[in-house]
Structure 1
Amino acid sequence: MKRFIELSLMALIIIATSVWGALAVYFGDSDSGIIWNFLSAGFGVFSLVTLISLGFPHWRKRCLYGYGVVFSLILIWWLSISPSNDRQWQPDVAKLAYATFDGDKVTVHNIRNFDYRSEFTYVPAYYTKTFDLNELEGVDLFSVYWMGPAIAHTILSFNFGDGGHLAVSIEARKELSEGYSTIKGFFRQYELIYIVADERDVIRLRTNYRNDPPEQVYLYRLQGPPQNAKRLFLGYLDKINSLNEKPEFYNTLVDNCTTAIWLRSRINPEHLRFSWKILLSGYLPEYLYESNRLDTRVPFKELQRQSLINEWAQRGDQEADFSRRIRTTILKPN
C-alpha cells in the first residue's frame, strides 16, 4: 500500500510538472514557433515515457533521473527569461506613463487620451498634467464584466475634485499582432503595464466601443480617509516609475489587474485581508461592500444596479464632462 501511494504521488508530480513544462516550452521566449512546438512535443513524449516507467522497476530510476534533469533545465531556462521595455508594442501600450514630483505637486506624463471611432480605430493622444496631492478627495473603483459574474477587470480612478479624475488600468502589455491569452499570462509572455489614462479613454473604450463581447461597467465610490487615498496614489506612482526603469512580467494569477491593486493597497494600515474574492475579481465589489469599503446604506444588489454606467457613458460619449455624467447615479454622501 505504501509503495502504491508513493508511485501515485510520483505520477501526480510528473503529470503536473510535465503539463507546466510543455506549456512553458510551447510558448517559448515571448514567441512560439516550429522549434518551440517540436521541443514541447518532445518533452511531452518523454514525460509520458517517464510516467509509464513507474510500472517497470528496472527503468524507473533511470527515467526519473533523466526527467528530473530535463525539467530542471527547462525551469532554469524559464527563470532566465527577462522582461523588456524594448519590444514592438501595440499602439495603445506603446508609451509608459511616469511621474515627477515638486513638493505636494505631482506631474504625470503620458496620460493616455485616445479618440476612438471603434475598438481598434483611434487617434492616439497623450497629455501631461500636474495634480495637487492636497486636492485628492478619494478613489473610485470600476469593475468591467464580459464573461459572467466571476471575472472582471478592475480599474482605479483617483478623484482630484475640480482637478479631474485620473484612471489607472493594470494590464498585460502586448506586442504587435499579439492577442491576450489567460494561459499565456502564466508563462512570462506579457510585460506588466500601468496604463494611466483619462476616463474618456480607458472607461469610454469599454462602455461605448467594445462590442465583441460587450462589456458592462460598474462604478463604485470607495470609502476611506483621504490619507489612505494619498498613500495609495503615491504607491501607484512609485510602481509606475519603477516599471520604466525595471520592467516586470504580468501574471494571470499573482500580478494582474486586481491582485496588484490589493498589493498596492497594503501600504495602508486598514488594508483588506486577502480573500478568494480578490482572485475571482468579479466578486471584489461584494467583498468591499462586506468590508464596509462601499456605501452600505442600500443592499448590495441595489448598489450594484445603481452603479452600472453604460447608459450614461453612451449618452455622454462626446461630452467634455464625461466623468461627471457617468457619476449621475452614484449615491451622494451623507
Structure 2
Amino acid sequence: MFRMVERKSGWRRVLYGVWLGAVGLATAWTLMALWYQSPLPWRSLWIATAIGTAIAIPILTRGRPRLRFAVLLAALAIVALWWSTIRPSNARDWATDVAHGVTAEIHGSRLVVSNVRDFQWRTRQTFEPRWRTEVYDLDDLVSADLISSVWSNPAIAHTLISFGFSDGRHLVFSAEIRRERHEVFSEVGGFFKEFELVLIAAEERDIVRLRTDVRGETVSRFPLRIATDQARALLVAYLEAGNALDRKPRFYQTITTNCTTVIFRLARLVQPGVPADWRILISGYLPDYLYQHAMIRTDVPLEEVKRQAVIPHSPAWAGHD
C-alpha cells in the first residue's frame, strides 16, 4: 500500500514538473510576442501582467490539479485569441526600398510587369528611387539564374532568381521582409509577425549592385539547368505570387516563409518532384543542394563551381544590365 502511494506521489511530481515546464515555455513565448507586438506605451504593463500571471497560477492552484490545468488552458486560449487578431496588411508606412511589391498582367506570352525597382544606390541610406513598368515576352526568355548573397555567416545567404531575356535585360525576384520606415530587420522578430512578406522585382543593376558594391556582400551567380518551358513557368509563378500577395498580404516568417522557402514552393509548382532538404532552410548550402541534383553545372568540382560563380564588384559590374 505504501509503495502504491509512493508511486502515485512520484507520478504527481513528474506531472507537476511537466506542467511547470509548459507554463515556462508558454510564458517565454508570450513575453516575446508581447515584446514585438505590444504598442510601446503599454508594452511594459502587458509584460509585467504576463509575468505576474505566470507566477500566480502555480501558487493559487497549488494542490488542485484540475483547476491548475483549466486555468492554464484558459490563459493559453486568451493568448491565442489575441494572437489571431494580429493580421498582415499592405497599407503601412513602408520603407522606400520595399514600398511596392511586384504585380503583373499576363496576356499569353506578353508580360506587363508593374513596380520593377531600378534604384540608383550611392550608400545604404542614400539612393535615387525609381519604380518602372516594363513589358517582357516569355518567348524572349533565355536564362534563369540563382543568385546567392552572403553577408556574414556563410551558412546563411539571401537567395534571388534572375531571369534573362534576349535583349539583355534581367528581371530579378527577391522575397524580402517588408519593413516599416522605423523598423530594422530582426531574425527573432520574424518569428513573431513583426514583418510582412514582399516580393520585389528589380533590375540587376539595382538589386545586385546594392549587395556587391554598397553592402560589400559576397554575391554568386549559378545558372540553372532547367528546360525553357520550366523557366517560363517559374517566371509566371513568380508573377502570380506577386499578384497573390497584392490581393492578400502575408507575414514573413524566419523559417517557414523566407527568401529560400518561397523559391522552393514556386519550384515545386513547376516541378512537383523537387525533393525537400535541410539545405533549403540553411540557405548558404543551397548551391550544394542544386549541385547534388544536377540543377547547376557539375562538370567541375563544387568548390570550383562556387569560385567561378562569384560576381566581381564594380566598376566591371556597375554598368551591367
TM-score (norm 1): 0.88
Tell me, which stretches of 5 or more residues in structure 1 are unaligned? 324-334
Q: Out of 241-250 and 170-179, give the one that drifted further.
A: 241-250
Match of 2:36 in 1: 27
Provide the residue aligned with 1:57 in structure 2.
Answer: 63
Distance 1:4 1:158 in 2: 61
Counterpart selection for 1:184 from 185, 189, 214 = 189
Q: Distance in 1 between matches of 2:183 and 2:77?
A: 29
What does residue 26 of structure 2 align with? 17
The residue matched to 1:314 in structure 2 has which SS?
Answer: coil
Count residues in correspondence. 312
Question: Residues 128-166 of structure 1, C-alpha deviation per residue, up to 9 Å, x if partnerless?
Answer: 211111222231111111221211111111122325210
| Distance across 2 between alignment mates of 1:307 and 1:11 | 52
Report the alpha carbon displacement of residue 218 of structure 1 after superposing the two structures with TM.
1.2
> 1:59-83: per-residue Cα shift (whole Å, max 9, x none)?
x544443232122111111112111
Report how far residue 266 of structure 1 moved. 0.8
Match of 1:47 among 54, 59, 67: 54
Q: Secondary structure at the match of 1:293?
A: coil
Distance 1:298 1:51 in 2: 63
Does structure 2 conserve the Cα–Cα contact (< 8 Å) formed by 1:159 and 1:166?
A: yes
Deviates more, 1:270-279 or 1:88-97: 270-279
Inter-partner Cα distance in structure 1 for 2:12 and 2:97:
56
Which of 212, 222, 225 matches 2:224? 222
Return the match for 1:166 from 163, 171, 188.
Answer: 171
The answer to whether the 8 A contact 1:258-1:278 is kept is yes
Q: In structure 2, do the counterparts of structure 1 residues 45 and 291 end up closer, same or farther at CA, with 3 Å as the change threshold?
A: farther
Partner secondary structure for residue 285 of structure 1:
helix
Aligned counterpart, 1:107: 112
Alignment of 1:188-199 (within 5 A): 188-199=193-204
**2:315 match:** 315
CA distance in 2, matches of 1:138, 1:293: 13
1:283-294 alignment, distance < 5 Å: 283-294=285-296
Alignment pair present for 1:135 and 2:178: no
Shift of 1:7: 3.0
Runs of 4+ in structure 1 deviating by more than 6 angstroms, as ranges, are none
Gaps of 5+ in 2: 1-9
| Paired amino acid for 2:314 | Q
Aligned-pair RMSD on alpha carbons?
1.9
The CA distance in 1 between the partners of 2:48 and 2:287, in whole Å, is 42
Alignment partner for residue 235 of structure 1, among 228, 234, 237?
237
Corresponding residue for residue 264 of structure 1? 266
Aligned residue number for residue 130 of structure 2: 125
Q: Which stretch of the first structure deviates more once superposed, 123-132 or 157-166?
A: 157-166
Partner of 2:301: 299
Contact conserved, 2:116 with 2:132, CA < 8 A, in 1? yes
Structure 2: how far apart are the matches of 1:305 and 1:318?
Answer: 20
> Is structure 2 residue 208 aligned with structure 1 residue 203?
yes
Alpha-carbon deviation of 1:36? 2.2
Q: Which amino acid aligns with 1:153?
A: H
Conserved 8 A contact 1:131-1:163: no
Maintained 8 Å contact 2:209/2:318: no
Which amino acid in the other structure matches residue 219 of structure 2? Answer: V
Q: Which has the larger radius of gyration?
A: 2
For residues 221 and 52 of structure 1, what CA distance do their matches in structure 2 show?
62
Distance 2:283 2:20 in 1: 33
Counterpart secondary structure, 1:192 = strand
Q: Distance in 1 between matches of 2:249 and 2:279?
A: 28
- State the alpha-carbon separation in 2 of the partners of residues 280 and 186 from structure 1: 16
Shift of 1:112: 0.3
Q: Which one-letter code corresponds to 2:243 in the other structure?
A: N
What is the match of residue 327 of structure 1? none
Separation (CA, whole Å) in 1 of partners of 2:202 and 2:244:
18
- Aligned-pair distance for 1:251? 0.8
| Cα shift at 1:102 | 2.0
1:117 to partner: Cα distance = 1.0
Aligned equivalent of 1:81:
86
Distance in 1 separating the partners of 2:52 and 2:218? 44
Q: 8 Å contact 1:158–1:233 — kept in the other structure?
A: yes
Distance 1:48 1:308 in 2: 54
Conserved in 2, the CA contact under 8 Å of 1:159 and 1:165?
yes
- Write the distance in 1 (CA, Å) between the matches of 2:304 and 2:201: 30
The TM-score, its normalising length taken from structure 2, stands at 0.91
Q: Which residue in 2 is equivalent to 1:250?
A: 252
Query: For 1:317 and 1:299, how far apart are their aligned partners in 2?
Result: 26
